[in-house]
Structure 1
Amino acid sequence: MQNVSSVTMITLSGLNFPFVHRLILFVLVLLWYLIILLSNVTIIVVILTDKKLHKPMYVFLCNLCINAVYGSVGFYPKFLVDLLSSHVISYAGCLLQGFVIHSSNTYEFSILALMAYDRYVALCQPLVYQSYMTRQRVSLFVFFSWFVPLFCMFTNTASILGKKLCGSHINRLYCVNQMVVSLICSPPRSHTIITWLNVAFYFFHFLFVCWSYAYLIKMCISSTQMWKRFKQTCMPHAICLITYTGTVLLDLLYMRFGSADVSQHLNNFMAIEFLLIPPIFNPLIYGLQLTHIRNRIVGLFHSKKKIHSF
């Protein structure tokens, strides 16, 4: 028991290839991380500094980009360090990383569901939209969309905090609560209950989003003007939602049913694809599709060119 209780460091796998390859990957990952930060921070700054964009849809988009930065910070800095050194992490650090990544994922779905609800009210009840989506109500929505995922993941992580470990190796590039539980000598039943409650809670989010889009399509398809508004304001959200849901489902299905015979490179990609694609895909889609944001970004670059020309 003394040896079991002394396990304080956890080894992560997936980086067992030559240092030269890891150095090349370090440069590529660093560039990708900087692009994620630049694209999301640009959208955040544009929305915060332009009063014309202080509307519910853009407020929710701003929080979506903030979450991308938050989730990326939970993975990329540690991963970049691991590429240049030994890939180990403390037990407490592993739980913290798992909490940040899990809470970022659940928040992403919460804010996407909230954005779907906003589009439903805007398109199906346009006469009451302004009076219903007030600043106070939007602030309340945003608060709970952050609070609930953080609370759900805090209870999930707290249920395994301080438990004795019978192993110290996780077959993944980053920490996942499910894999930490597999190292615990006596996995707590409370963690299983909390996990399934969280799964059920966010499954209802998924059902709500499906219902809202089915209703929106049914309402808009009969009117050319409504369908045009649907494509302008809902298509970017729908694309981001499909991208995020697809990448997360692939990760979950691969974690559950993936073969041990596949290459390590494929295993690594399947583990991090939801950390690679949505954080950079979301701001690009919204930046290109939403006219107000696209014009504001173009205006910022033009103003910088004029300043440098002087």
Structure 2
Amino acid sequence: MSNLSLSYVVLGAYVSVGNLRYLFFLLAALLYGAVLFVNTSLILVICVNRALHQPMYLFLVSLFVNELYGSSGLFPLLLVHILSESHAVPAPLCFLQIFVIYTYGHVEFCSLALMSYDRYLAICRPLQYRRQMTPGKVLVLVLVLWTYSFLKVLVTVSLNLRLRFCGNVVNSLYCHNYLVARLACSGNRVNDVYGLCGTVLAVLVPLAPIVFSYARILRVCSGGSRQTRQKAVSTCCPHLVSLLNFSCGGCFEILQSRFDMSHVPAALRGVLSLYFLVIQPLLNPLLYGMQVSKVRHIYRDTLSCKAMAGH
């Protein structure tokens, strides 16, 4: 195949598993349903209850919306291909999936960075917190991070659309920007430079406030009271677990897409490539819903009220 543009992309990581595909379809459908339910229910709980209209919970709403967005960019097409004998994806749909998944990754990392700065202000500057982190400022920050992520990924996808391709098979379970770009007949200097700069920015821009915030939090905790340390642990643990999980998932995805992993079983490679797209959207609402006491109590009370109303 040698043409100026792709007409379709073949996802080459799918293997024939016979009737087991129905089991895989059921598992994937259950996971998607769980992601939709837990994220949507927590968004509704936070939006409906005015007691939760605070900066931290507004950041959580943005995070949960992003989980729904990213999951919807993966699961519908994944479910279709699990049952299908053909794993060809029309090029426009493939580039749309790239846009959604990469935007999801950028928004996720930037949201975790903003949440780390919010935790820094709450722990290290509690008296100034309400003045420096108002709901209006939170909405502006969330709007900026979504706009920044959309524009950054849009430029990436637009540059790839200009490439001349000499192949159409990618060894992945979903459309992957790096693997699709490797199908180009020759390198493009603009794409290469922007790709390098974009990768550096995607890592350093969110990483800077995360490192700054936790360095200050550790400094305050080391010289603070036991109560301060307990507050830091209770408020930072869910965020740290989420951050580490997403970082590990991102590392898994980078390793399996950029290096020769032929010695690793195909099933394990598939799990590693989907980890940050499947586990993170399910982990975050469970983590925050169970660990943040105010959310947990209001969520339980809301369900109790609905149950009583039903009777």
What is the aligned partner in structure 1 of residue 153 from structure 2? 153
Aligned ranges for residues 1-310 of structure 1 at < 5 Å?
4-5=3-4, 7-85=6-84, 86-204=86-204, 205-221=206-222, 222-308=224-310, 310=311
- In 2, Cα distance between equivalents of 1:67 and 1:215: 28
- In 2, Cα distance between equivalents of 1:126 and 1:113: 19
- In 2, Cα distance between equivalents of 1:22 and 1:13: 16
- In 2, Cα distance between equivalents of 1:135 and 1:267: 42
Alignment-mate amino acid for residue 216 of structure 1: I
Structure 2: unaligned runs, 5 residues or longer: none
After superposing the two structures, state which structure 1 stretch, 283-292 or 184-193, moved more: 184-193
- TM-score normalised to the size of structure 2? 0.95
Alignment-mate amino acid for residue 62 of structure 2: N
Judging changes above 3 Å, is the alpha-carbon distance between structure 1 residues 5 and 234 closer, same or farther for their aligned structure 2 residues?
A: same
Moved segments of 4+, more than 3 Å: none
Q: CA offset at residue 203 of structure 1?
A: 2.5
- In 2, Cα distance between equivalents of 1:31 and 1:70: 17
- Does structure 2 conserve the Cα–Cα contact (< 8 Å) formed by 1:160 and 1:188? no
Aligned-partner SS, 1:89:
strand
Aligned-partner SS, 1:127:
coil
Percent identity, aligned pairs only?
A: 32
Alignment-mate amino acid for residue 92 of structure 2: A
Alignment-mate amino acid for residue 62 of structure 1: V
- Does structure 1 conserve the Cα–Cα contact (< 8 Å) formed by 2:25 and 2:82? yes
Q: CA offset at residue 218 of structure 1?
A: 1.7
Aligned-partner SS, 2:165:
coil
Aligned CA-pair RMSD: 1.5
Judging changes above 3 Å, is the alpha-carbon distance between structure 1 residues 6 and 102 closer, same or farther for their aligned structure 2 residues?
A: closer
Q: CA offset at residue 82 of structure 1?
A: 0.7
- In 2, Cα distance between equivalents of 1:7 and 1:141: 37
- In 2, Cα distance between equivalents of 1:160 and 1:79: 23
- Does structure 1 conserve the Cα–Cα contact (< 8 Å) formed by 2:179 and 2:257? no
- In 2, Cα distance between equivalents of 1:250 and 1:237: 20
